[in-house]
Amino acid sequence: MHNSSWGLRASARRLAVLAGLVSASSWAQTIPVVPLPKATGKSTIEQRYVYAKPDKGEFEMNLIHGGAAPTEVVVQEPMMCQPQAKAKAKIKYDKSKNEVKLIVDFHKALPYRMSYTRPADVSTPYNQFPVSITDAHWQMWFVGRMFTFDTTFYYSATTLQLIGHEEQFPGGPPPNSIPVSVPTMQMIGTPIFEGQPNGNAHVEFNFRYDMILDDRNAGGTLVAFLPYNLCKPDEYGPWYLNGGLPASKAMNFDQVLESIWSGYGIAISSSLEPAVKPSYLDSRDNTMIAWGQAYPGQVAAGMNVDAVGGYFTPPLGCPGTRVNPGFPSAYFNICGP
């Protein structure tokens, strides 16, 4: 995921979650959630739809490089930093035809069959990630619902360790657990592709308006940033739903438009992937991120967004492919010294 896709708006929601966790006098309760007002997308000042008309329309994003979420790999190869390197994405949608199309063009911008090895394994007890990748291909990711909804995670009432997500417990909460509502994203991956040796690529992907399915005909995945243990609520990390959502829980494009209109927006990003993905990466990305962009709050070329604070930072130049720093560690343990 591209860091600009969630940093600015998500920071406030993360702080709200932290406040609820730290101030709770009892762990045996769900954090209250204030419902978001329903956005219409129409400007009351201009009396028109400024971003993304309902039902039918199109919009473009100039993709940029250099950003990723904490612990993700920032793919920033030298060819991507040359003046001629360009990338853009267009989304076209038509509700009456039940069609959504994602069109992405790379011009001398897409590294060809590159390889990369992380300096350390970033796998967690909840998600596995590859350490090395050789002769990689690419996959596009469409983050269509961006923290506009909350889902429930369960923590152990004894150890306060994260147990899992409501999707993993269809029969109801696990015994001796604490439910916590967490702002969540939903995203889908396209079929894997590769460009030409010169860095060019043109890809088009077609989806249904009423059911946006991923490359496995699943409903994509859910993503959240949360503490793995409630004793250290400011030690955040990523969590992905393994195996993907059923098709019946796929997002539709009306929900995508609502995410845009609400101000949280959407995002497009590209990830470096094995040519044949291991099953543990079904419906989720390898978190080695190259080109990406948010909409409508687009980040200007050369600029970056601080992945933790959510603020814009000056251009970094082209420091090369690297691992983004993780979330900062806790300064205290609220469960003891």
Q: Tens of pLDDT along 199-236?
A: 999 999 999 999 999 999 999 999 999 999 998 887 88
Residue-wise pLDDT tens digits, 162-207: 999 999 999 999 999 999 999 999 999 999 999 999 999 999 999 9
- Residues of the chain with pLDDT > 90, as a percent, come to 69
Structural domain harbouring 68: 3-22+56-323
**Among 278, 272, 288, CA closest to 242:** 278
Residue-wise pLDDT tens digits, 12-30: 444 344 434 433 334 344 4
Q: Which helix or strand (DSSP H or E) is residue 21 part of? A: helix 7-23
For residue 247, count CB atoms less than 10 angstroms from its CB and return exposed for 0-12, middle for 13-18, buried for 19 or more. Answer: middle
Q: Would you say residue 9 has pLDDT above 70? A: no
Per the DSSP assignment, residues forming a β-bridge with 42 are 49
| 39-53, 130-144, 229-243, range with greatest mean pLDDT | 130-144
Within 197-321, residue ranges assigned H as helices are 253-261
The reported pLDDT for the residue numbered 309 is 67
Contact between 299 and 64 (Cβ < 8 Å): yes
The reported pLDDT for the residue numbered 233 is 82
Contact between 145 and 186 (Cβ < 8 Å): yes
Residue pointed to by tokens 């010169």 = 198
Please, what is the average pLDDT of the chain? 86
The CA R_g of the chain, rounded to the nearest whole Å, is 20
Does residue 219 form part of some domain? yes
Does residue 7 form part of some domain? yes
Q: Which amino acid is at 306?
A: D
Residue 3 phi/psi, 5-degree rounding, is -65, -30
Does residue 32 form part of some domain? no
d(C-alpha 245, C-alpha 242), whole Å: 9
d(C-alpha 195, C-alpha 87), whole Å: 12
The reported pLDDT for the residue numbered 235 is 81
Does residue 263 form part of some domain? yes
Does residue 31 form part of some domain? no
Number of domains in the chain: 1
Mean pLDDT across 43-59: 83
Does residue 296 form part of some domain? yes
Mean pLDDT across 238-257: 97
d(C-alpha 279, C-alpha 117), whole Å: 20
Does residue 14 form part of some domain? yes
Q: Would you say residue 259 has pLDDT above 60? A: yes
Q: Where are the beta strands (DSSP E) in the chain?
A: 42-43, 48-49, 56-62, 73-74, 86-94, 99-107, 116-117, 132-133, 137-156, 162-165, 177-189, 201-207, 221-227, 236-240, 266-273, 288-295, 304-305, 312-313, 322-323
Compute CA 278 distance to the chain's CA centroid, rounded to the nearest angstrom: 20
Residue-wise pLDDT tens digits, 277-307: 999 999 999 999 999 999 998 877 767 776 6
